[in-house]
Structure formats: C-alpha cells, structure tokens
Amino acid sequence: MSIVLLRVDDRLVHGQTIEAWVPFCHANCLIVANDEAAKNRIQKIAIESCASRSITIKVEDIKEAVSDINSKDAGRENVMVIVSSLKDAMRLYSWGLKISSINIGNIHHNGGSMMLSPSVFIDKEDWGFLLKFKELGINIDIRAVPADKPLKIENWNI
C-alpha cells in the first residue's frame, strides 16, 4: 500500500473527508487509526457506513494500522490515513510507518490555546510533536480542505 495522505483530524471522518479529500487524492482505502474508535463498536460501524464500492474504510488501532499499511500483499491501493491527534501521528511513526508529509485539518479537542489556523488549536505537547516532525524532515501542511491554501509554520522559535 502507498499512503497518499496522512491527516490529523479530531472529528475523524466527516463531510470534508469524504467529499473533498478522498476524490482529491484519489484514495480507494481509508484507514482510521484510532484506539478508542477501534474499541467502540458503534463508532466503528458508523464510520464504516461511509464506505462504498469505490472506497473501503477500515477502523483499526494504531499498531494494527501500521502493520496493515506496511504489509506487502495489500497491493496497489492508495491509502488515506486519519488520526485524531498529533500524538497518534507520532505513535504511527514510532511503530514504523514511513511518513513524508502530514496534513493538519482540525484540532479543537484538548483546548489548546495556540491558533495555527481557524480550525487548528494546539497546546505545548502538540508543539513538541510538530518540532519533532520538522527535525525528521516531514512536510507539515495545515489546511482543512484541499481548496484552501496550505499554511506553513514560518516562525519556529516560540
């Protein structure tokens, strides 16, 4: 499998994801890597209800998702991966997922006070992850929908 997009979005799957991002990156497989969702039967079924013949949707925990994506037999699928936080993105990386770019769409959940975009509010811990990703040479792309202009972080010294 090859990853076409890794997205951080604390609302996981919603309108923007299915209507805008999936067609934009020609994804035919959507992996929601989230420990809570993988354990929650209801949430899992709700997310899987968004699937159709042209896109398969899997809800897996972080570890499972990495081994699924890295497995060779999965063929030529274009995978879009969604995590709910930068922390989970970092966990994907430390379990051995190759990441070249990371899209940050929506972060509202933990009441972070630093605003990167109208839909992204991060806290100190998140900032640490961003610095780490930067050191690793991973491209950081902040935008909610593909039509938006990708924001870059200009000032890293805060």
Partner 1 sequence: MKFLFWQAFAAAVAGGFISLDRTAAFQIMISRPIVAGPLIGLVCGSLAAGIVIGSLLELLWIGDLPVGGHVPPHETAAAVIAAAVAANAKGIIPEKELFGFCILMTIPFAVLCQKADQGVRMFNKYYYHRAYAEIEKGTASGVGIFNLMAVLTLLIVNIAVFFFFITIGMMGVSRIYYIIPQEIRFAFATLFAVIPVIGIASAFNTAHSNKLAKTALFAVFILFIGLLAWHR
Partner 2 sequence: MQAMGFAFAISPALKKIYKEKNDFLSALKRHMKFFNTQPYMAAPIIGAVIRLEQDVKAGKLSPNDVSLFKKSLMGPYGAIGDAYFWGSLKPFASVFGVVFLALSSSLWASAAFLIIYNIPHLWMRTRGLTAGCNMGIDVVDYIKSLDIPEWGKRLRYLTICLLGAALALYYQMNGYASANIGSAVGIFSIVLFFAYLMQKGFSASMLVYIVFILCAAYWYAAPVFHFLNKYISGQVSVNL
Per CB under 8 A, residues contacting partner 2 are 11-15, 17-19, 37, 40, 42-43, 45-54, 147
Residues lying near partner 1 in the complex (CB under 8 A):
14-16, 19-20, 118-119, 144-145, 147
- From the list partner 2, partner 1, none, which binds 118 (C-beta under 5 to 8 Å, kind-based)? partner 1
Nearer to partner 1, 19 or 36 (CB): 19
* DSSP codes joined into one string, 33-64: E-HHHHH-HHHHHHHHTT-BTTBEEEEE-HHH
Q: How far apart are CA 103 and CA 150, in angstroms?
A: 9
- From the list partner 2, partner 1, none, which binds 13 (C-beta under 5 to 8 Å, kind-based)? partner 2
What does the buried/exposed string (b/e) look like for 102-119 if buried means 16 or more CB atoms within 10 Å of the residue's CB?
A: bbbbbbeeeebeeebbeb
Nearer to partner 2, 32 or 92 (CB): 32
